[in-house]
Amino acid sequence: MIRKIVYSIFLATIVLALVMFFAAYPFGKNKMTVGEYYLNNGVAQTGASNIVTSVVVDYRGFDTLGEVSVLFGAAAGVAILFFVLAENRRERKNITSPNFVVKVGSRIIFPFILLFGTYIFIHGHLTPGGGFQGGSIIASGFLLLYLAYPGTRVSRKKLSAVEGLAGLTFVLLGLYGLMLPESSFLFNFLPKGQLNALLSAGILPIIYIAIGFKVAAEFAGIVDDMMCEVICRGGEK
């Protein structure tokens, strides 16, 4: 009991410190200088109409590369933990078969989920959305497939091939920019095109499509490991 009181005082102190700190930053008033610079010059410099995309892929593209590597590390960690370190491998057990409606409905809806995800990451530089969102939508489509047909397995070799090719595209585009006269990593060397056209913004859509494939493959791999844990070795509790 005394522990709870002590920790409540501790949390109240943290909240009070946050309130006092953020009293200097009034809600809804002014922006950061960097943000204003990106808003004023982003369209001219990158050609993408969605400024969040141009910040994620162009201005902070190196950051995004690191983030994708963290994602790869986490997915590899899940796979290693479940497949290498797992001790008591049990036999495959039957789990409850899903409803008829779920089976037929998921078969109808699965291509549309893939199409929607693809639309979202192809139009990442024009409308809200992009590689991360589209990739996770595609991964949730795979999740629906697992729920409807518990025996499904996605081929791990194909998943890692997609993942590796997407990551390679990102890195090679970045390194190609380093070889040009005005060299910088991830230099936007393709023509900018017209604002709000599908083929615009240089290498931004290509990189975002690569990120989309990579995120979809990583999350589908994580979901595959998790579902296999239930189906292949799990069973009813």
Partner 1 sequence: MIYYLGSFLLIAIGLYAIIIKKNLIKILIGLNLAASGVNLLIVSIGYIKNGTAPIFSKIGINPSAMVDPIPQALTLTAIVIDASELALAVAFVVLLYRHYGTLDIKKIRSLKW
Partner 2 sequence: MIYISWILIILMLILAVVSIQLKNLIAAVVAMGATSLIISLLFLLLQAPDVAMAEASIGAALTMIIYIIGVRETERSEK
Please report, as ranges, the residues that interact with partner 2 according to CB under 8 A: 50, 52-53, 120, 128-130, 132-133, 136-137, 139-140, 143, 219, 222-223, 226-227, 229-230, 234, 237
Stretch that binds partner 1, among 103-111, 145-153, 178-186, 211-219 (CB under 8 A): 211-219
Least separation, in Å, of the C-beta of 77 and partner 1?
A: 5
Say which entry of partner 2, partner 1, none residue 235 contacts (CB below 5 to 8 A, set by partner kind).
Answer: none
Q: What are phi and psi of 125, to 5 degrees?
A: -90, -5
Q: If binding is defined by CB under 8 A, does position 115 make contact with partner 1?
A: no
In whole angstroms, the minimum distance from the beta carbon of 140 to partner 2 comes to 5
**DSSP states of 74-143:** HHHHHHHHHHTS---PPPP---PPPPHHHHHHHHHHHHHHHHHHHHHHHTTTTSS--HHHHHHHHHHHHH
Q: Which of 187/224 has CB closer to partner 2?
A: 224
Give the CA distances from residue 195 to residues 56, 59, 192, in Å, rounded to whole numbers and listed in that order. 18, 18, 8
User: Does 9 participate in binding partner 1 (rule CB under 8 A)?
Assistant: no
Q: Could you tell which of partner 1, partner 2, none binds residue 175, using a CB distance below 5 to 8 A set by kind? A: none
Q: What residues from 121 to 180 belong to the interface with partner 1 (CB under 8 A)?
A: 126-128, 130, 132, 136
The answer to whether the CB of 14 falls within 8 A of the CB of 165 is no
Angle (nearest 5°) at CA 41 between 35 and 43:
110
